[in-house]
Amino acid sequence: MVIVVIIAFYAISFIKKDKQSVAVNNFDLTKIKERGILRVITEYNSISYFIYKDEVAGFDYEIMERFAESIGVRTEYIIAHNHQEMYNFLRQGKGDIIATGLYQTNESGVAYSIPYRKSEQVLVQRKAGKYTRKSDSTTSYYQPIIDIKSLEAKDVFLTLNSPYIEQVKHLADTLGFNVNINLVSDERSIEDLINAVADAEIDYTVADKDLALTNNSFLGNLDLGIQFGKEKDLHYATRKSSKELQIILNEWLSHFIKSKDYKQIANKYFKFDRKIIDQFNETEYLTKGQISLYDNIIQYFAKSINWDWRLVAALMYQESKFDPNATSWAGAKGLMQLMPGTARQMGLHTGLYQPEQNIQAGTKYLQYLEQFWKEVPDFTQRIKFILASYNAGVGHIQDAARLAKKYGYSETEWDGNVEYFILYKSNPRFYNDRVVKYGYARGSETFNYVRNIIKKYFYYTDNINDSTNLDFALQQKDLIPFNGIDGVYNPSVGLLQERVRKELFVSKKLFEQNQDLVPLNKKNNPFDKAPNELFKEKGKSKKLFEQKSTLFRKNDTLSNQQLMIKNESKINQLEPR
């Protein structure tokens, strides 16, 4: 009887699983429309999906929003940690479509869309100019190379398991040059290496062009002109069984990628310069005892929230360089660069470019953030949490505070504690941590944002006296050293502070295959050397070449197509050392 019950239990379980599998396989466009929700599988990164100033953004996110609108449904996003997890979620029916750039592979049960963009690898280096390395303040002039062969004997930095290692080796072997590959820990992301190039810590790395362009929209000093691989198609993916969804997605994409809307989205994420151009003559105003044209308005609204107006002015300089018409890549507007959603939350629905209305809404938002961080006891530290939240959004700063607490640092101290964990928010190990709710963030921007505003504030207090603000002025704090987490690179110091594993790759190709065999380096012909310097004996004879060359003489007893090595070199019995 017991055996019968067990068999029945497993039979029912099998039938149930089979029914679930059928249900997943049959879930297509018609049922998606009935449900009213398109479930989109994606991952946190600076291209596909991220949260900026508490609003969702991303190239693939914006495309999916438009696609969902075209089929009359809303979206729901399922975040995976890697590509394999995305494929698993798709097969399990947790989502309907994968929306991030995928190369076409042989994944079972998966159908790829038509290509919606292309990707290629590029050499990441700096533009020509004088650069100061942040870690040790040394200054030097950098001249970018103009072709790949100029990487001869240069150091290229890659992560330990980088997909580009074999590509760099293959290209060096094909073209016949030597390159030093420096492998850093996988705790470093590709974006960390791109930033290290921009900061003059290293000179070269390799990255997907789209990722490099996105980072350069913040950095502005990268040269991405040297292609390091063939351009490849990128796709979205659906289940093979979702035939209707495949058809409608491909039809929609074929039209959308040719549209002006698609071009605007691509420019926004890959080409828009995310730095506000500084055309403000600060010295001219300071000599008159002013900070800007808007001092009176700033003073009035800063007083209403008990802030030193010079601190509000420092924030405004960082945000817009006092340009009332400034607009960011993400749509933030005006002197205080308010996002439309934040402006509405503060009661401002129109007039974002009007200085008085913009400053009023901006200071009101600062007051809201101060209330949010009221549990931070120290006033100066609380101000820094507020500034960081103004830049990145409250969610990312909460994440950084939770990470700080998890690793034994203070969650209510910005200096030397939470500020370093906002830096780690661009590292997959940390933004995929269970305590993190808002995923990827470009933490270096927020880290520098707070420091730049505080530095500017003290510069203004040195030049603009105002005794009325003494009760709520910030304290000057010394920077606290940070040793980083064990086994994880310390992002507050330069890459060169970390020991890296250097792999010297020497090309194995000696000759180009032309009508005649010609040494690659004609100025340094290896056969000018004595044979015993270049070759060592080998047990068995090995034929190396088939084409004619002045290195060989004919053997009349053999066919005209065969060559015999000159006796003095005995190359067939030898191999390069």
**Long-range contacts: 161-164, Cβ < 8 Å, 24+?**
161/186, 162/190, 162/206, 164/121, 164/206, 164/207, 164/228
Residues in the chain: 577
Q: Which amino acid is at 543?
A: K
Residue 496: both structure tokens together: 């060169």
β 97-102/155-159 pair status: unpaired
Residue 438: both structure tokens together: 């808002």
Query: Is 462 buried (19+), middle (13-18) or exposed (0-12) by CB count in 10 A?
Result: exposed
Q: Which residues are catalytic?
A: 319
As beta bridge partners, residue 234 has 117
Residue 366: both structure tokens together: 């600062």
Interatomic CA distance for residues 317 and 275, integer angstroms: 12
As beta bridge partners, residue 198 has none
**Contact status, residue 42 vs residue 100, Cβ threshold 8 Å:** yes
Query: Where are the extended beta strands (E) located within 171-283?
Result: 179-184, 205-208, 222-223, 232-239
Place of tokens 């390395």: 133
The three-state (H, E, C) secondary structure of 131-197, written as one string = EECCCCCCEEEECCCCCHHHHCCCEEEEECCCCCHHHHHHHHHHHCCCEEEEEECCCCCHHHHHHHH
Question: CA separation (Å) from 93 to 76, 96, 141?
Answer: 13, 7, 55
